[in-house]
Chain A
C-alpha cells in the first residue's frame, strides 16, 4: 500500500508575524517556519498505518524551495520518500488541491492523510477539495482512525461531541489534535533523512478561484477592567454590558 501524506510549511506559532509591503502576504524575514502542527498528526498516523500493514509512505508538499525543510522533517520522522510540488506563486486552496490530486493520482495512492487545516491561512478546505477532485471518500477532523481491510472507521469531532463514521478506501483523512502523539524526529532519523530522495516536480498552473485582497493584523484588545469585588459593582457591570459591550 502506498500511503500519501500532504504537509504544509507554516510560520511557527511562537513567532511574531509582520505583514509584507504588498499588504497581501507575510514578511518571511526573521520568521521561523515549521511543519504544520496538524500535519504532524497526519504524518504520525501514516507511519503507524505503515507499521501495521506494511507499504510505503510518500510525503507531498506544495510551495517554494522553503517547503523542502518540512519535507525533510517528515522524512526524518520516518517517511520513505518526498515529492516537492514546486511553485513560487501563492496558490489558493483549490489550486493546491488540484496539484495534490494530480500527484496522488499518479502515485496510485488510495489512502491519504492531511492535517485538518494549516495554521497559516486556516482555510481548512484542501483535504475535502482534494477528495472531491479525486472522487475519493473523505473524513475530516478525525480523532481516531482504524483500517480493517477496505473499511475505515473513524471518530470525528463535532460541536459538543463525537461522531463515529465508516467509509471505505480510497479515502482522505484529515487529522485533528488528539488523533495520536506525533513522534520526534530522532537524531538517527535526521541522519537517515539526508539520504532519502526528494523528487521535484513543477506545478501546472491552475487559475485562482479566490483572490487575497489584503491582510490585516487583529486590532489590539483593551485590557480587562475590574469594576469592584462585591455586589456593589453589579449595577455598573450591567450598565456597561448594556451600553458598552452591547451584549445585553
Chain B
C-alpha cells in the first residue's frame, strides 16, 4: 500500500505546534513500518501483537501526558490525540491497547492513587514492563455501570472481592487490573494483581471486531486484596466516569485515523479502477461519496483540535467530549461503509484495510458509552431533562 501523507484539506496543520506535528510523524512512521505489515495476520488469527509493546513504550506512547518524574513525556492533549489518530489509522485494536494503558490504567492510578502506588506502578507501565486493564462493565451492567454487583467487603488487613467483569480489553495479558467494585454500596477502585488467589481472566472468543485486541472476563472468587491496593481517592461512580471521559477523548481522535485510512483506500482505488469507459472516480456518484468523506473528515479534524485546546486549557466539559465521540464514531462507520462500496467486491477482502476498520468501528461505537448514551448525555445538557431513570 502506498504511504499516506495525511488528509488535510483545510490546512488544519497550521493549527498545530511543531512538536505536535513531530509526534504525529513519529507515530505515523511507527504505524507504517511496524503495524501495517503485521496487522492483517493478527486480525486473521485473532491475536494481539504483544511484541510491539516495548517499542511503543520506547517511543513514549504509554501515558504520554503524565509527568516526567514517572518516566512519561508530559505532552499536551493535542499531541495525545494525534497519537491516538495515527495508531487507529493502523488498527483500532492497537489504539485500544494504548487507550486502556493511558486513560484507563495510568490515569486512575495518577489521579486516585497514593504516592506509593504512583511511584511503584506508573514507571513500570510507562516502560511497558507491566500491562494493565480496566474492569468496569459486568455481564448485566453495561450502559448502567452504577448497578454493578461486584462487591468488596472489609476483612482483616484488606478486602475480599467477589463478582465478575466482562468485555475487558487486555484482561488476559494484564499484570494489573483496575477493578471497580462496591464497598458498603459505594463504587471504589482496586488494583488487582495477576496471581492474587481466586482471580482468573479467561479470554473471550468469537469476536468479529477488534480481533487484534485481547478481550476478557475477569472473575473474582473470594479474592483477598491488601489494604494498600485500594485507590484511596477513587470513591464514587464519578471516578470511573472520569477515566472513561479520558478514553472517550482519545477515541474521538482515534477514529479520524480509521476515516483517513478508508478515504485514502477509496480515493486511490477509484482513480485506478476502470468500468465502462472511465475510472470510477470520474463518475459523479463516486465523486459525491468521496467529497462527503473528505468533508466529514475535515469537520472532525477541526472539532478535535478545538476539543484538545479546550482540554489543555482546562475548560473542557464532558458533554463536549460526548459530542465528539458520538459524532466521530458514527461518521467513521459511514465512511467505512462508503469506502467499502467504492471498492466493490475488493472492499470485503483484507488486502484492503476498509472492512477491518468497518468491523472494528462497531466496537468503538459501543464501548466508552454507546451512541445512545452520549445522545442522552448531550440531551440532558441542552434540555435540562434527564432521560435516565435513576
**Which residues does A use to contact B, with CB under 8 Å?**
12-15, 30, 32, 34, 68-69, 72-73, 76, 184-188, 190-191, 193-194
Contact = CB atoms under 8 A, between A and B. Distances in A.
Interface stretch (B56-64, B293-301, B378-386): B56-64
B4 interface: yes
Contact of A184 (B11, B59, B64): B59
B140 interface: no
Given A14-B2, A34-B25, A188 B73 contact: yes
A186 B6 CA distance: 20
B35 interface: no
B29 interface: yes
A66 to B, nearest CB: 11
Interface residues of B, number: 27
Given A14-B4, A14-B5, A190-B73, A184 B26 contact: yes
B23 interface: yes
A185 B75 contact: no
B18 A186 contact: no
Contacts of B19: 72, 190-191, 193-194
Contact of A191 (B4, B58, B75): B75
B315 interface: no
Contact of B26 (A13, A30, A32, A187): A187
A184 B4 contact: no
Nearest to A182: B29
B308 to A, nearest CB: 16
15 contacts: A13-B3, A14-B2, A14-B3, A14-B5, A32-B5, A184-B29, A185-B26, A186-B26, A187-B23, A187-B73, A188-B60, A190-B75, A191-B73, A191-B74, A193-B19
A72 B29 contact: no
A184 B30 contact: yes
B21 interface: yes
Nearest to A29: B11
A191 B59 CA distance: 12
Contact of B60 (A69, A187, A193): A187
B350 interface: no
Interface string B72-83: 011100010000
Contacts of A191: 19, 68, 73-75
Contact of B25 (A30, A73, A194): A73
A108 B118 CA distance: 47
A193 B30 CA distance: 20
B22 interface: yes
- Going nearest first, the 4 A-B pairs with the smallest beta carbon separation are A187-B60, A187-B73, A14-B5, A14-B3
Contacts of A185: 22, 25-26
A186 to B, nearest CB: 5
B8 interface: yes
Given A14-B2, A191-B75, A186 B22 contact: no
Interface in B25-76: 25-26, 29-30, 58-61, 64, 68, 73-75
A192 to B, nearest CB: 9
A193 B22 CA distance: 11
Nearest to B64: A187
Most buried by B among A14, A34, A193: A14
A185 B26 CA distance: 6
Given A187-B75, A191-B73, A76 B58 contact: no
Contacts of B25: 34, 73, 185
Contacts of A184: 26, 29-30, 58-59
B8 A30 contact: yes
Contacts of A30: 8, 11
A237 to B, nearest CB: 24
A178 to B, nearest CB: 16
Nearest to A32: B5
Contacts of B60: 186-188
Nearest to B61: A187
B282 to A, nearest CB: 16
Contact of A32 (B6, B23, B59, B61): B6
A186 B56 CA distance: 10
A69 B75 contact: no
